[in-house]
Amino acid sequence: MERPTDSHERIFHSALIVDDHPLFCDALSMTLGAVANIRDIQTAANLTDALSLIGTGFSPDLVVLDLNLPDVDGLDGLIRMRNTASVPVVVVSSMADNRVITSTIKAGASGFVPKHSKREIFSAAIKSIRQGHIFVPDGFVLLDDGQLGTPMQSDILARLATLTNQQARILQLICEGKLNKQIAYDLTIAETTVKAHVTAIMRKLGVQSRTQAVLLAKEASFSSVLQERA
């Protein structure tokens, strides 16, 4: 399965690992160094720290992201990271079935590797992504829209993937029940800017109200994916 890319194979000199388990970060750092010769590796225990690291100037060539982070809900972290880093994002998770994998790929991941996979699997994933392919390990298949879950879920994931990082963050705060004034305070932006983002979010999601936007976001959440496992 291929995604458009440059005509030349990518070279990964640096990577950012986002996972809240220090031992796994250490092990994965060694793995990336061994199988891909990546030497500049930074780690973050949550999405907030990861985005801050990028904001301060670290520009990784590759991001390895755990979905189950303490400060994100569902696929929100993947969408925000993909839009912020603008580089391939590989999801590494212990929650590995066809439905979860398909959801992450539709939300913009360049690959999925089950957590604690052997080194050879990580090597195959890096090689595939360097060549512009989407990596799914042997034994797993990407589901079609009818198999993914509710009839709307695939379309919802595609719509959510169009949100910018700021829009995804605002949608997350809306889902937490915060008003525009509170969101403006949290993000240190003008309330009029928040209103403009909310309008853009509703347009991209194809909804008419904040409540509908929240319902769509929850439809694509982790819990929704897990409840509908085949």
The reply to whether 69 and 112 lie within a common domain is: yes
The reply to whether 155 and 48 lie within a common domain is: no
Please report whether residue 98 resides in a domain: yes
For residue 202, what pLDDT is reported?
92
pLDDT greater than 80 at residue 191: yes
The reply to whether 114 and 162 lie within a common domain is: no
The reply to whether 108 and 42 lie within a common domain is: yes
What is the tens place of the pLDDT at every residue in 76-86?
788 889 888 88
What is the tens place of the pLDDT at every residue in 21-75?
999 999 999 999 999 999 999 999 999 999 999 989 999 999 999 988 888 877 8
The domain tally of the chain equals: 2
User: Containing domain of residue 168, as a range?
Assistant: 146-227
The reply to whether 74 and 150 lie within a common domain is: no
- State the average pLDDT over residues 192-201: 94
CATH number at residue 38: 3.40.50.2300
Please report whether residue 137 resides in a domain: no
Segments in the chain forming alpha helices (H)? 22-36, 47-55, 76-85, 98-106, 119-130, 145-148, 153-160, 165-175, 180-187, 191-205, 210-219, 222-227
pTM of the complete model: 0.71
The reply to whether 54 and 119 lie within a common domain is: yes
The reply to whether 126 and 24 lie within a common domain is: yes
